[in-house]
């Protein structure tokens, strides 16, 4: 499994607007692509001292081919949508993660 992770630092002044937009607009559009089976919004703890809030948005996929198709056919428009809406008030960087092994207690 692959996790497409977008870390987003969100300015305090637009935090609530951004979160509502993510839940009501952006994430539903990402899910409509049919590439992801789950999306997690995870707050980075202990990072509030500078006033902004940081989130790890984890987009779960089955394989790299799905992610490559997402990059090619959907990502440019969706990224531009974020930039147009929030500009520099949301700073982002992206990483790809691969789940190698899940260990659970016996």
> pLDDT per residue over 84-96, tens digit each?
999 999 999 999 9
pLDDT at residue number 76: 95
Q: How far is 58 from 42, CA to CA, in rounded Å?
A: 8
pLDDT at residue number 87: 95
Class of domain 2-57+75-98 (CATH, top level): alpha beta
Structural domain spans, the chain? 2-57+75-98
Token code pair at residue 102:
């899940």
Please report where in the chains the tokens 């990502």 appear, as a residue. Answer: 75
Tell me the pLDDT of the chain averaged across its residues: 94
pTM for the full predicted model: 0.90
């Amino acid at each position: 499994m692959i996790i497409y992770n977008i870390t987003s630092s969100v300015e305090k002044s637009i935090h609530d607007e951004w979160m509502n937009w993510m839940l009501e607009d952006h994430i539903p559009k990402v899910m409509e692509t049919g590439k992801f089976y789950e999306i997690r919004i995870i707050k980075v703890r202990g990072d509030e001292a500078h006033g902004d809030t940081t989130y790890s948005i984890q987009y779960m996929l089955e394989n790299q081919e799905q992610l490559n198709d997402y990059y090619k056919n959907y990502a440019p428009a969706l990224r531009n949508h974020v930039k147009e809406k929030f500009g520099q008030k949301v700073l982002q960087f992206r990483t790809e993660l691969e789940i190698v092994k899940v260990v659970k207690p016996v």
